[in-house]
A = this chain, B = another copy of it.
Amino acid sequence: MNDSVREVNIGLLGCGTIGSGVFHLLRKNAAELTEAAGRPLSLAHILVKELEEPRPFLVDRTRMTTNAREALNDPEIDLYIEVMGGLEPARSYALEVLGRGKSLVTSNKELVAHHGRELMEAAAATGATVRFEAAVGGGVPLIRPMEESLGGDVIQKVMGIVNGTTNYVLWRMSSEGGTYSEALTEAKKLGYAEADPTADVSGNDAASKLAILCSIAFKAGYTSEQVYREGIQKVRPEDIENARELGYAVKLLAVAGRADGGVYARVHPTMIPLEHPLASISGNFNSIFVIGESVGDLMFYGQGAGSLPTATAILGDVVNVVRNLGRPPVSKRSYWSRPGELIPMDDVKTRFYTVLKVVDRPGVLAQIAGIFGENEVSLESVVQKGIGDSAQIVLITHEVSEKNFRAAREGLQRLEVVQEIPSVIRVEEGA
């Protein structure tokens, strides 16, 4: 049989929201996929936890199995798609099929962010390939452009909105008003937030994605745990209003870049200038800014989640793997074995927006300015808002190390005239 036109047999591991989208598109766009991949694609096995699970798209029951061995041991399978999510058994299955020389396409960000090194080494050992376009930015083509189109450039910084839930919440607080809780309730209603939204609102999901972006951009193996993170739970409507008055939008950004000979990586609520392209990203969209030394500013925008956008990214990877079946892999990503080091958060420099509730009497500002001065924090702007019992000072610092800012903050908390520090948000200028 002529191998170039033989059907490609695919094993689909997992069939929930994303997996059923993959099944749906494999059927609906069979002609386009065959043209793009050069060969017809066929799903040989679909490994599921439950045959009866509710799924957004109808899936052929005859290919389904709950028996992992049946799906994993079939020698006829050419490549696997893993969309189970979570670390185990995804990791064991992935290592098993890669060990047998089968290429793997995955949307599993935790898997790549925690076990990327193991996966790349297992693949390199057998000549298999791991692709994971869907793991960051959902349907947005990002990983492959960063790896391939920017192969001739040196990436300086990556800064993006990589979590649609938190962007929806902050965007709604900004456009409709209301509190964090109200916006989160609305996000759940619309299906943009899960019943338990912790992974999203805490910044954990974004931190996993940033670890993957760091590995690709800075050519070493970074893991999720290394990335500093802060969630959006404490962002107040007043902060969003203050930000706008100062010319900023508040976004949960994943930011990583080169500085002082090292690399920093952090996820936190961020004030970004209103005229920056990331400031106007609305709803549950994702958008990732990449700054290359030679190419300058690039931005990639689209749906970061959802069944069909994610399935589209997976199938783009599948097309790429099929086109290269039987060829040695174009890149072994051997850099992933070099542990990526990060600048300790203490030494990372950013600017800070801070709100202080203060006692309204003469000399207060002098005391506050004194504390900042002692800790080598210089101030860019200071505005008093409200008087009497509702007196507040809203300030933005110049660039300062985390360590110095924290010392200043502790000093302020000891001042009798400072009643509370309800808000601290980092500020980025975008370049």
Take A282-B275, A320-B148 as given contacts and tell me if A139 and B295 are in contact as well, using a CB distance cutoff of 8 Å. yes
Q: Are B292 and A297 in contact (CB under 8 A)?
A: no
Say yes or no for A32: interface residue by CB 8 A criterion: yes
Q: Which residues of B sit under 8 angstroms from A299, Cβ to Cβ?
A: 287, 299-302
Answer whether residue A37 sits at the interface, using C-beta atoms and an 8 A cutoff.
yes
A149 at the interface (CB under 8 A from B): yes
Contact of A297 among B32, B153, B303, B320 (CB under 8 A): B303
State the A residues within 8 Å of B (CB).
21, 25, 29, 32-33, 35-38, 133, 139-141, 144-145, 148-154, 219, 275, 277, 280-282, 285, 287, 292, 294-303, 306, 308-309, 311-316, 318-320, 323-324, 327, 330-331, 335
Copies per assembly: 2
B296:A303 contact, CB within 8 angstroms: yes
Cβ A151 vs Cβ B295 within 8 A: no
- The distance in angstroms between the C-alpha atoms of A314 and B151, with both chains bound, is 10
Residues of B contacting A314 in the complex (Cβ-Cβ under 8 angstroms): 152
CA distance A151 to B313 in the complex (A): 9
* Cα-based distance from A297 to B35 in the complex (angstroms): 23
The answer on a CB contact under 8 Å between A29 and B316 is no
Report which of B150, B311, B316, B323 forms a contact with A316, defined as CB distance below 8 A.
B150
Q: Please measure, in the bound complex, the distance between the C-alpha atom of A344 and the C-alpha atom of B313, giving whole angstroms.
A: 34
**Across the interface, do B277 and A152 meet the contact criterion of CB distance under 8 Å?**
no
Given contacts A149-B313, A287-B299, 7 further A-B contacts (CB under 8 A): A36-B331, A294-B309, A295-B303, A296-B302, A296-B309, A299-B299, A323-B330
